[in-house]
Amino acid sequence: MNRDTSGISAVVGVGHTDWAEDYRRVRKGEKPHDSNGYATLAFNRALQDAGIDRDDIDGLIVGPTTAYERMGEILNINPRWGGQADAIQAVLQAVLAINAGMAEVVALVYGNDQRSAAVQYGGPEAMGGGSFLSYVYHSPWGLTSQGALYALMYQRYKQLNGLDDSVLGQVSVAQRQWASLNPHAIMRKTISMDDYLASNYIAEPLHLYDYCLINDGGVALIIMEADRARKAAAKSGGKPVYIRGIGRADLNSKATSLGPRLLDFYLPAQQKAAKQVFDAAGIGPQDVDALMVYDSFSPHILFALEGFGYCGIGEAGEFVAQKGIGVGGKLPINTGGGHLSESYMQGWNHQVEAVRQVRGGLGERQVPNCRHVQYTSDVAGKAMSVIYGA
């Protein structure tokens, strides 16, 4: 990855909706907002956090759950550049757009009413049954849920490395520890290993606590050209968080036959993305103070630890057990509670937590002397990463 993208942009504002309160309201049968409404609320909060006007926005990227043109209309902005992307690709695209001079202030906006709209992520009508989803390719054989695919993936990994259920249990227990310290988290009650082991299998070997939440909500980030961000911060007293490195590598060959998942656990793509992102940032895994991992299911954590060089191949279970990833652990992971316990915002909430950790001031869940936070994603064989820094 060319170092020209390092430090040329910064996050100056973050915002999100009231995940826990809206979760309670939706469970009562209410519908606080639709996807556009959640996105709009998050955007307004991010603008306020950034201390800028909506007229300053000249770039817009919306999540895949809303329409780009409609969201621009609702937000009453006319960007000169924009589009639609998931969380990590939105960050990467914003950095590249700023680097190319296509925009200076890019709003990244996401809203999803997935729980109140009863969106299905498994079964014959999963997300409408569209063939663009990798797991729908296997629907003729009855395999239509991501959980089932990760169960297959982890089953092989588990057997290769001689692991038992307590390994994933440590991941789930650790993320609940972090969530218990997060006032925005939906699931704040801690769980023990006994609680984890006593929970039902959903798709063996994955237990209930290995699955992400499904909830409504919205998230927004404002990314600004670095020099402009520094000048704005000098006036407002804000603290920009700089994007120090980005990386991406895809595994498409044999993807629909599950090859990259079951044979390599996405390792080749992760290693390529790791080299890109660390070279760009000029640091290594040993310099990362906290790690955020896309965790629709808990095995993501183990695969990321190995793929991005935090431990040796086949050693993630030992790393989690001996080093620790929860409160007080050597490598804090998903310090907001992640998708398992904070909120399932499809990677967007992880960006907010990363920025807040670098900013500091999170009380009990603040990682001491936090200067670098890495985010990783390995969804469907697309390994991507970003490093945020002071």
Containing 293, the helix (H) or strand (E) segment is strand 290-293
Pull the structure tokens for residue 321: 């057990």
Whether residue 187 is contained in a domain is answered as yes
Residue 137's DSSP bridge partners are none
Does 88 or 119 have the greater pLDDT score?
88
Same domain, 336 and 278: yes
Residue 369 confidence (pLDDT): 96
Domain count, the chain: 2
Burial category of 157 from C-beta neighbours within 10 Å (exposed 0-12, middle 13-18, buried 19 and up): buried
316 SS3 class: helix
Same domain, 222 and 361: no
- What is the span of the domain harbouring residue 377? 145-208+244-389
Does 112 or 143 have the greater pLDDT score?
112
Pull the structure tokens for residue 259: 């090859």
Same domain, 337 and 194: yes
Residue 127 confidence (pLDDT): 58
- Asked if pLDDT for residue 137 goes beyond 70, the answer is no
Amino acid at 252: N
Quick one: pLDDT band at residue 2, thresholds 50, 70, 90? very low
Over the stretch 157-174, which tens digit does the pLDDT of each residue have?
999 999 999 999 999 999
Phi, psi of 195 (to 5 degrees): -60, -45
Whether residue 303 is contained in a domain is answered as yes
Whether residue 193 is contained in a domain is answered as yes
Name the residue with tokens 């054989």: 141
Whether residue 133 is contained in a domain is answered as no
Residue 134 confidence (pLDDT): 57
Quick one: pLDDT band at residue 128, thresholds 50, 70, 90? low
Same domain, 113 and 75: yes
CA distance 353 to 217: 15
Same domain, 104 and 12: yes
Whether residue 80 is contained in a domain is answered as yes
Whether residue 280 is contained in a domain is answered as yes
CA distance 152 to 372: 33
Query: What is the distance, to the nearest Å, from the Cα of residue 114 to the centroid of all Cα atoms in its chain?
Result: 17
CA distance 64 to 83: 10
Query: What is the distance, to the nearest Å, from the Cα of residue 83 to the centroid of all Cα atoms in its chain?
Result: 19
Same domain, 353 and 304: yes
Pull the structure tokens for residue 41: 């609320």
Residue 144 confidence (pLDDT): 76
- Asked if pLDDT for residue 275 goes beyond 70, the answer is yes
Q: What is the mean pLDDT of the chain?
A: 93
Query: What is the distance, to the nearest Å, from the Cα of residue 7 to the centroid of all Cα atoms in its chain?
Result: 21
Residue 28 confidence (pLDDT): 97
Q: Is the Cα torsion angle 323, 324, 330, 334 positive or negative in sign?
A: positive
Whether residue 11 is contained in a domain is answered as yes
CA distance 214 to 266: 25
Same domain, 285 and 321: yes
Same domain, 311 and 275: yes
188 SS3 class: coil
Whether residue 129 is contained in a domain is answered as no
CA distance 165 to 274: 28
246 SS3 class: strand
- According to DSSP, residue 285 is labeled G
Q: What's the whole-number mean pLDDT along residues 195-207?
A: 97
**CATH number of the CATH domain containing 170:** 3.40.47.10
Global pTM value: 0.95
CA distance 380 to 221: 24
Same domain, 279 and 164: yes
Residue 290's DSSP bridge partners are 373
Does 256 or 242 have the greater pLDDT score?
242
Same domain, 21 and 48: yes
Residue 3 confidence (pLDDT): 52
Same domain, 79 and 166: no
Amino acid at 66: T
Same domain, 164 and 16: no
